[in-house]
Amino acid sequence: MDLLARREHSRAEVVAKLQQKFPELVQHFDEVLDQLEQDGLLSDERFAEAYVRYRRSRGFGPLLIRQELRGKGIDATLLEAVIDLRAEEWLDTLRDLIARKRRTLPCGSEPSSRSNSAQDQSRAGLAPTNSQDAELKARQKLCRFCLSRGFTSDQIARAMR
């Protein structure tokens, strides 16, 4: 009970912790966990929703969160119900993440930071300038960062427009 009072846990997490502390009582785990679920003290759905909400607030994307929840024993049907890849909230989360990350990148990461002469040169078909190279590198770095955070390439492309 103390374990469940601190935060939500998945059924698989509770089983793993009980097996560590009480390996001799394995045969009783199912009936105890079933009773906890009936009493509303243990719920994989509630755990998954809370976990998604927390990880999204920390700037993580749906792919990474889905992988983490699979590792915590949440089944695929519940994952699909809790994580909607098409949800507009993921784009909002990603846009906030991109805005925060851009502040830490070199000045060339903002498309609007290009000088007029660089824009004129690119229109004239001349070779890319150093500022254009820096902008491209910063944009690629930002894309890799977002991918590592668990966002899809489609979401990243839409958020960076």
Domain extents in the chain: 2-82, 88-160
pLDDT at 119 over 70: no
pLDDT at 63: 96
For the chain, the straight-line distance linking the first and the last C-alpha, in angstroms and rounded, comes to 49
Is 73 strand, coil or helix?
coil
Count Cβ neighbours within 10 Å for each residue of 13-31 and write b for 16 or more, e otherwise.
Answer: bbbeebeeeeeeeeeeeee
Q: Give 26 or 129, the one with higher predicted confidence.
A: 26
What is the rounded distance in angstroms from the CA atom of residue 3 to the CA atom of residue 93? Answer: 31
Tens digits of per-residue pLDDT, 83-96? Answer: 987 788 999 999 99
Give the whole-angstrom CA distance, residue 16 versus residue 14.
5
- Check if the beta carbon of residue 131 is closer than 8 Å to that of residue 114: yes
